[in-house]
């Protein structure tokens, strides 16, 4: 594996200082960035308007390689999962979700990409596929950035697309891993993806989802960029949360709510509460009052998500009637809430499942 810094892990000021060391003129930088972020080049040799001597220096100093598409599932106009193979043979997923005004951000003719931040996850929520195989490692900055660029590159090869078309204008950091446990790499990647010279995606179109790392939520509140924040709540009391989310023992609801107050104070109405409905666990109406109280306190919207079945786990989604009753009870309390009613279990694509299946298949049957 290359130990050179990756070109897609650098901020503009870092590239500028390297160009000073190279003694290269500044006007070459926008040309380079155009190759990297607009034309999505995979090789220095493609950059034909840069002098050969500069290409050689760049190649000696930086890596530009990217990961390979292992599999893609889904059709062009529905949710599609991409499974990437990293340089160290690990797998991560990104999920492309077509425009849907009721999801995150506003209506648009473009797409949302659900991005992973770690290989596996250490937080071990009982219902989640990502935690099942344990935690392997944090993703590096360029591995976060490249998920967007690789999907754009794939789109570029589809019929009817112009080479520099952009598909993705919304990001949800809700793939595999706990984003706030990989804070520094995530923030740097998001700065690159947000910058006009980089990904050009508005910060308000980027939603970071966390299982509730209260200290990092406070830290995020201090950042200048206005990211949206989604809290994976899934229980409105400590009793319910403790049953399914070990992180709640470390940062119980009281502490989490205070960190969210702080984020809310600093950023305005930027919080969504995510609530998966799991049969026999958290769909009882006694969760409605504490959930409504928290939503009002944080001026937050609630997203109810019927649980996606994970192979090997016993959890199920409640009946549609129970889901609708929960929604109605929340609405009666004056909460703005949505319930995903999509047919099939494909939307959201239950993060981590494709990777889990592929890893298990590669390992083959467990020897007797
Ligand atoms: N670690 C972060 C982000 C990744 S998980 C977090 O927990 O917020 C993204 C979302 O998918 C979380 O809300 C998570 O609880 C939810 N999720 C995980 N497994 C799921 C499943 N099987 N069905 C529905 N949602 C699931
Ligand atoms: Fe990790 Fe989020 Fe899955 Fe919990 S829900 S195990 S924090 S990825």
- pLDDT tens track for 278-290: 999 999 999 999 9
Cα(124)–Cα(131) distance, rounded to whole angstroms?
Answer: 5
Instruction: Kindly calculate the radius of gyration of the chain based on its CA atoms and give it in whole angstroms.
Output: 21
Average pLDDT rounded to a whole number, residues 299-315? 92
Angle between helices 183-194 and 141-156 (to 10 degrees): 40
17 C-alpha to center of ligand 2: Å? 38
126 C-alpha to center of ligand 2: Å? 9
- Is the pLDDT assigned to residue 356 strictly greater than 60? no
Tokens 């999920």, residue located: 95
Structural contact between residues 37 and 199, judged by C-beta atoms closer than 8 angstroms: yes
Structural contact between residues 318 and 306, judged by C-beta atoms closer than 8 angstroms: yes
Structural contact between residues 175 and 116, judged by C-beta atoms closer than 8 angstroms: yes
Structural contact between residues 118 and 138, judged by C-beta atoms closer than 8 angstroms: yes
Query: Which ligand 2 atom lies nearest to the CA of residue 121?
Result: 1
Q: Which of 92, 114, 131, 172 to mutate to test the pocket of ligand 2 (most atoms within 8 A of CB)?
A: 131
Average pLDDT rounded to a whole number, residues 325-329? 98
Ligand nearest to the CA of 132: 2
Cα(335)–Cα(354) distance, rounded to whole angstroms?
Answer: 34
Give start-end residues of each CATH 1.10.150.530 domain in the chain.
Answer: 7-61
State whether the beta carbon of 202 lies less than 6 angstroms from ligand 2.
Answer: no
Give strand pairing partners of 207: 172, 228
- Name the pLDDT band for 354 (thresholds 50, 70, 90): low
Lowest mean pLDDT among 101-115, 253-267, 349-363: 349-363
State whether the beta carbon of 180 lies less than 6 angstroms from ligand 2.
Answer: no
Burial of 230 (0-12, 13-18, 19+ CB in 10 A): buried
Closest CA to 314 of 282, 343, 278: 278
Lowest mean pLDDT among 59-63, 157-161, 332-336: 157-161
Structural contact between residues 48 and 30, judged by C-beta atoms closer than 8 angstroms: no
Instruction: Give the catalytic positions in this structure.
Output: 93, 351
The pLDDT tens digits of the residues spanning 77-103 come to 678 899 999 999 999 999 998 875 445
Average pLDDT rounded to a whole number, residues 232-245? 98
Give strand pairing partners of 304: 275, 339
List phi, psi (to 5°) of 245. Answer: -130, 100
Structural contact between residues 188 and 153, judged by C-beta atoms closer than 8 angstroms: no
State whether the beta carbon of 246 lies less than 6 angstroms from ligand 2.
Answer: no
Q: Which of 119, 123, 128, 235 to mutate to test the pocket of ligand 1 (most atoms within 8 A of CB)?
A: 128
State whether the beta carbon of 98 lies less than 6 angstroms from ligand 2.
Answer: no
pLDDT given for residue 345 in this prediction: 44
Cα(102)–Cα(123) distance, rounded to whole angstroms?
Answer: 28
Query: Which ligand 2 atom lies nearest to the CA of residue 209?
Result: 2
- 68-363: in CATH 3.20.20.70: yes
- Name the pLDDT band for 165 (thresholds 50, 70, 90): confident
Ligand nearest to the CA of 314: 1
Average pLDDT rounded to a whole number, residues 69-73? 91
Cα(110)–Cα(88) distance, rounded to whole angstroms?
Answer: 32
- Is the pLDDT assigned to residue 351 strictly greater than 60? no
Query: Which ligand 1 atom lies nearest to the CA of residue 234?
Result: 15
Structural contact between residues 294 and 316, judged by C-beta atoms closer than 8 angstroms: no
Give start-end residues of each CATH 3.20.20.70 domain in the chain.
Answer: 68-363
Average pLDDT rounded to a whole number, residues 326-344? 87
Q: Which of 209, 353, 357 to mutate to test the pocket of ligand 1 (most atoms within 8 A of CB)?
A: 209
Give strand pairing partners of 91: 85
Q: What is the CATH number of domain 7-61?
A: 1.10.150.530
pLDDT given for residue 270 in this prediction: 85
- Kindly state the tokens that stand for 309: 């079945």
pTM, rounded to two decimals? 0.93
Average pLDDT rounded to a whole number, residues 220-230? 96
């Amino acid at each position: 594996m290359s130990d050179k810094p990756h070109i897609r892990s650098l901020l503009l000021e870092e590239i500028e200082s390297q160009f000073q060391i190279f003694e290269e003129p500044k006007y070459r930088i926008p040309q380079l960035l155009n190759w990297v972020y607009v034309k999505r080049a995979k090789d220095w040799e493609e950059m034909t308007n840069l002098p050969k001597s500069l290409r050689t220096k760049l190649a000696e100093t930086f890596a530009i390689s990217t990961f390979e598409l292992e599999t893609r599932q889904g059709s062009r106009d529905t949710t599609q999962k991409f499974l990437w193979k990293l340089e160290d043979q690990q797998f991560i997923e990104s999920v492309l979700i077509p425009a849907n005004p009721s999801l995150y951000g506003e209506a648009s003719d473009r797409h949302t990409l659900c991005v992973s931040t770690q290989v596996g996850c250490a937080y071990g929520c009982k219902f989640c596929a990502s935690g099942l195989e344990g935690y392997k490692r944090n993703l590096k900055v360029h591995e976060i950035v490249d998920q967007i660029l690789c999907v754009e590159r794939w789109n570029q090869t589809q019929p009817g697309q112009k080479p520099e078309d952009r598909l993705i204008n919304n990001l949800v950091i809700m793939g595999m891993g706990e984003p706030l446990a990989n804070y520094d790499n995530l923030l740097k990647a998001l700065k690159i993806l947000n910058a006009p010279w980089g990904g050009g995606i508005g910060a308000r179109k980027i939603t970071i989802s966390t299982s509730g790392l209260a200290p990092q939520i406070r830290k995020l509140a201090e950042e200048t960029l206005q990211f949206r924040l989604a809290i994976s709540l899934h229980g409105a009391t400590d009793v319910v949360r403790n049953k399914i989310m070990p992180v709640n023992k470390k940062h119980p609801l009281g502490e989490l709510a205070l960190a969210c107050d702080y984020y809310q104070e600093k950023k305005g109405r930027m919080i969504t509460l995510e609530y998966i409905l799991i049969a026999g666990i958290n769909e009882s109406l006694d969760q409605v009052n504490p959930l409504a109280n928290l939503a009002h306190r944080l001026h937050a919207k609630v997203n109810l998500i019927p649980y996606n079945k994970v192979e090997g786990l016993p959890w199920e989604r409640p009946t549609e009637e129970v889901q609708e009753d929960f929604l109605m009870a929340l609405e009666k309390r004056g909460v703005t809430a949505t319930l995903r009613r999509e047919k099939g279990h494909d939307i959201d694509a239950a993060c981590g499942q494709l990777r889990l299946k592929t890893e298990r298949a590669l390992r083959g049957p467990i020897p007797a």
